[in-house]
Amino acid sequence: MSAFAPLSQRVLAEKRCSVGWQIREVRKSRRMTQQDVADRLGWTRTSLVAIERGQQAVTLDQLLNLAELFEVFTSRFFVHLEPFRAPPCRNCGHREW
């Protein structure tokens, strides 16, 4: 059995950016502003901006609320297999997978 190795901080940052990008894409496809989402979920716009930019980790509770609001499965936020849709992240500098 191989030893488990936690993900590096860089990999975690890349994944946060990708999830944040997916949240942003779904929000925009619903024609909602960041303020619309924040108001509906009782969040600050600042926290949503940080999540979308990958600067703040999103919690499971937040993902569940976003999925409910957007009427999507939570798995929608984990679509990492379409690199042509995700530009390089300005925050962590990762390139497309």
What whole-number distance in Å separates Cα of residue 97 and Cα of residue 95?
Answer: 6
Here the tokens at position 78 are 């984990």
Cβ neighbours for 50, distance < 8 A, ≥ 6 positions apart? 56
Query: Do 41 and 69 touch, CB atoms closer than 8 A?
Result: yes
pLDDT per residue as tens digits for the range 58-97 = 999 999 999 999 999 999 998 864 444 455 666 666 654 4
Highest mean pLDDT among 11-15, 17-21, 42-46, 89-93: 42-46
pLDDT of residue 1: 63
Confidence of residue 11 (pLDDT cuts 50, 70, 90): confident
Mean pLDDT of all residues in the chain? 86
The architecture that CATH gives domain 9-85 is Orthogonal Bundle (1.10)
In total, the chain counts a number of residues equal to: 97
Residue with tokens 């940080």: 50
Chain-centroid distance, C-alpha 59: 10
- pTM of this structure: 0.79
- The domain limits of the chain are 9-85
Segment 44-50 mean pLDDT: 97
